Homo-oligomer: A and B are copies of this chain.
Amino acid sequence: MSNTVKNLVLIGYGGMGTRHLQRLQSVKEINVKGVYDIKRVKREEAKRAGYRVYSTFENVLLDKDVDIILIATPNDSHKDIAIEALKNDKHVICEKPVTLSVSDFEEVLKVAKKYNKCFMVDQNRRWDENFNMIKKIYNNHAIGDVYEIRNYVQGSRGIPKDWRQLKEKGGGMVYDWCVHLLDRILWLNNDVKLESLYANLSYSLGHNVDDGFEVTLLFENGLKVLLGVGTSNFIKLPEWYMVGSTGTMEIEDFDLNGKYVTLEGELTKDTVPIEAGAGFTKTMAPRNDGSTQEHELPKVNVDVRDFYRNFVNWIDGKEEPIVKNSEVMRTMKVINEIFKSSDNNEVIKF
């Protein structure tokens, strides 16, 4: 039995909103019924692009044909829009970060439960190809048991000159990016206890929101994870770097340059010291003796449009949600501790 096509209205015709609309063009389970934006200029832009435009948010809520409201507005407005939508019998897809506090998110979930509606957060970067390559190797142990993951996303253009520079709007890089990086790592380790974190936020660009951060997570199974973002980095660190007991994996960037290398033989055999800089070293001597093997990055098959399809299937009772609200809640709580750790320069233990 096939699903009924669901009607969706986008709230917030900005960068992320228009991107959703592009993607939804090829999601046959969803029909984009219209658009609303609080700004008249944006509404006019949407009209010119051929969308049906609602003149008020209330009109969206009153439209009985609307099944799903997709919220892609600045972070501080998600909560109120979501609650209104849910109360008016709409399912809701919400941009990340879902809200700016745990209690706000709890309120939203209470309303969703009361009105028996589906509410899902767009953690779209779970569908990044490079993350899925890391996930595959992490789970199939192709480099042994993994004990270290580094995930750094760096730009060199500062923070965009919009609400992202404003604290009260939920700006800053922790809300913008850590929410992605943390969500994925916690998802990858759903069953593993997070033991501690240490975070350090950067304010080097002089805004009152963080322009970058670094977080060290220690998990109960011995895994150490470093997550970092920078916005004035003119040379980038590798985006992904993962070390296991028998190999190392690196993915440089979104363009999927990278490889993984495995040890074929014994770790400490036949080491010959080398001259290196002003010293010599046995420990840091290279392996050029055929005792390692280089592999291409694994193939993965991911399609971010599965996010929308999964949402529709959840509404229709055919699938569990991929992005569970309990997972988003866990991430939100850890985000709070990240701010606390950095503010107090202390390790947070869970």
- CA distance in complex: A49, B245 (Å): 40
Main secondary structure of the interface of A (DSSP, over half): mixed
B196 and A345 form a contact (CB under 8 A): yes
Asked if B254 contacts A276 (CB within 8 A), the reply is yes
In the assembled complex, A249 has its CB within 8 A of some CB on chain B = yes
Choose, from A5-13, A111-119, A258-266, A310-318, the stretch at the interface. Answer: A258-266
A128 CB within 8 Å of chain B: yes
Q: Are A234 and B261 in contact (CB under 8 A)?
A: yes
Q: How far is the CB of A155 from chain B (nearest CB, A)?
A: 4
Question: Contact: B128 with A16, CB < 8 Å?
Answer: no
Q: How many copies of this chain does the complex contain?
A: 2
Which of B157, B235, B286 has a CB less than 8 Å from the CB of A283?
A: B157
Is A284 close to B, CB under 8 A?
yes
Q: How far is the CB of A53 from chain B (nearest CB, A)?
A: 22
Residue of B nearest to A204 (CB): B147
The smallest C-beta distance from A157 to any residue of chain B, in angstroms, reads 5
Query: A40-52 CB contact bits vs B (8 Å, 1 = yes)?
Result: 0000000000000
Task: Chain B residues near A287: list those with CB within 8 A.
Answer: 156-157, 234
CB neighbors of B among A192-246 (8 A): 195-196, 198, 200, 202, 204-205, 214, 216, 218, 222, 224, 226, 230-235, 237-238, 241, 243, 245
A284 CB contact (under 8 Å) in B148, B154, B226, B278? B154
* Bound-state Cα–Cα, A15 to B283, Å: 12
Q: Does A267 contact B (CB under 8 A)?
A: yes
Name A residues whose Cβ lies closer than 8 Å to a Cβ of B.
15-16, 19, 124-131, 147-148, 150, 153-161, 164, 173, 176-177, 180, 195-196, 198, 200, 202, 204-205, 214, 216, 218, 222, 224, 226, 230-235, 237-238, 241, 243, 245, 247-250, 254, 259-263, 267-268, 271, 273, 276-287, 292, 302, 304, 345-347, 349
> Can you sample 29 A-B contacts with CB below 8 Å?
A15-B273, A15-B282, A19-B279, A124-B278, A127-B278, A128-B278, A128-B279, A131-B277, A147-B202, A155-B284, A156-B267, A156-B286, A156-B287, A157-B283, A157-B285, A160-B271, A198-B347, A200-B216, A214-B224, A216-B216, A234-B287, A234-B292, A235-B250, A235-B261, A237-B237, A278-B302, A278-B304, A279-B304, A346-B346
Given contacts A128-B277, A129-B278, A232-B267, 18 further A-B contacts (CB under 8 A): A124-B278, A126-B278, A128-B278, A131-B277, A156-B248, A156-B286, A156-B287, A156-B292, A157-B268, A157-B271, A158-B268, A159-B283, A180-B279, A198-B216, A232-B243, A235-B250, A235-B260, A346-B346
**What are the nearest 8 A-B pairs in CB distance?**
A128-B277, A127-B278, A234-B261, A278-B304, A155-B284, A234-B248, A158-B268, A158-B267
